Amino acid sequence: MRFKNFKNNFKRAFYEESPDLLDKIENSCKNQVQIAEDFKSTEKAAYDGRVGQSRFVNFVFNKWAKATLACVLCLALFASGVWLGVSINGKDAPINTEVYTKMYLDVNPGLQINFNEQNKVISCVASNADGQEIINELNLEGVELNTALSAVVGAIYVNGFISDNTNSILVSVDSSAEKTQEILSSVSQKINNVFKNSSINCSIIAQSVTTTDALEKQANQFNVSVGKMNLVNKMISGIDNLSEENLLDLTEMSINELNLIYSQRAHGEKDNVFAGDVVSGSVGGFLREEEALNSLLNEIKVQSTLLQDYLSFVEYEKVDGEFKLVYNLSIILIGEIVSYHFKVDCKTGEVLQFDINLG
């Protein structure tokens, strides 16, 4: 008998063992007076409304929190004189409109900036609603690549999409090999310059991409940018515990969430998939692997000196009905013949599930 079968048999046996007491209970309840007699039908509607609504309340709160954060960030940027909003286009002369370089920028806002061979912006296209919000604030036509990059990242920051807890930026470049290399090698520094007067430390993934019809079609299908689609495809190919089944989940993740999983790529044996990627900074808003392990050891009151070995990987999975990013931590303690397996919430360090295996 496997353990899963055991669990099902265990539940079934108890269910079948349970006596039928309903009539007796109903008779007993007839003589009972419920507490809180003033629980009127009008209140029931409110009561029903509260059932299962806590997520909505949190959502509203988050919206307000985000709005407040955006206001604070705006003020901070005004104070430091780094406002990068409208009217940065000072070029009136006609420009070469042949697209030479495509740059896809993804945070949560996703947008594509097209440059000519002289690195001047030809056009800017949003890949989602948040991206459109950013584009509406800027007039980038004719602006030089580095200035445009700073302006877009600055506008994303001002609009509250970048913070300590959502600090990941994906930059994808489609150009000649030489130009792509030139951009990828300097993009982290350019972006970090935008934040030199703030406490934000960005985590940047810069990758090269080849925009094919198939990739564009797939990106449109999942309503993401070509850059994000490319990254997701690479993660599925290059990270052991991901497969095509995860495609939808991954495309629906924020760049920050993807970045956490991406940071686990070193555990795979297919690292060549990620060759050429330029990565900097550490992802915010989540516990690092060693922090999660320490949190776990602290929670289960085990000293780190007793730890013989451990294995960890991040997964996006349904735990107790809710999809979460979790560290799957397996630990072996010195002198023990069993291994312990924990699912630890990547954000909070909470132990969500626990299991134990022989050997």
Chain residues binding another protein by CB under 8 A are 1, 3, 6-19, 21-22, 24-26, 28-29, 32-37, 39, 41, 44, 47-48, 50-52, 54, 299-301, 320-322, 338, 340, 350-356, 358
| Torsion, CA 126, CA 128, CA 130, CA 133, rounded to 10 | 40
At 347, list the tokens: 């954000």
**CB 188 to another protein: min, Å:** 40
**CB 303 to another protein: min, Å:** 12
| Residue closer to another protein, measured from CB, 174 or 345 | 345
Dmax over CA atoms of the chain, in Å, equals 89
| Residue closer to another protein, measured from CB, 125 or 307 | 307
**CB 35 to another protein: min, Å:** 5
**CB 13 to another protein: min, Å:** 4
Compute the distance between CA of residue 177 and CA of residue 170 in angstroms, rounded to an integer. Answer: 19
| Residue closer to another protein, measured from CB, 19 or 94 | 19
CA 303 to chain centre: 31
| H helices present in 169-208, as ranges | 177-194
E strand intervals along the chain: 101-106, 110-115, 121-126, 168-174, 203-208, 278-280, 307-319, 322-333, 338-345, 351-358
| Residue closer to another protein, measured from CB, 12 or 63 | 12
Compute the distance between CA of residue 113 and CA of residue 227 in angstroms, rounded to an integer. Answer: 12
| Residue closer to another protein, measured from CB, 277 or 317 | 317
**CB 350 to another protein: min, Å:** 7
CA 135 to chain centre: 22
| Residue closer to another protein, measured from CB, 7 or 63 | 7
Compute the distance between CA of residue 87 and CA of residue 269 in angstroms, rounded to an integer. Answer: 48
**CB 19 to another protein: min, Å:** 5
**CB 283 to another protein: min, Å:** 26
| Residue closer to another protein, measured from CB, 8 or 193 | 8
Q: Residue 119: which region, alpha, beta or left (left: phi > 0; alpha: psi -120 to 50)?
A: left
**Phi–psi pair at 144, nearest 5 degrees:** -70, 150
**CB 351 to another protein: min, Å:** 7
Q: Residue 189's closest CA among 145, 154, 134, 150?
A: 150
| Residue closer to another protein, measured from CB, 37 or 244 | 37
Amino acid, res. 55: R
At 32, list the tokens: 């009972």
Query: Do β-strands 203-208 and 168-174 pair in parallel, antiparallel, or remain unpaired?
Result: parallel
Compute the distance between CA of residue 154 and CA of residue 135 in angstroms, rounded to an integer. Answer: 12
Roughly how many angstroms between the first and final C-alpha of the chain, as a whole number? 18
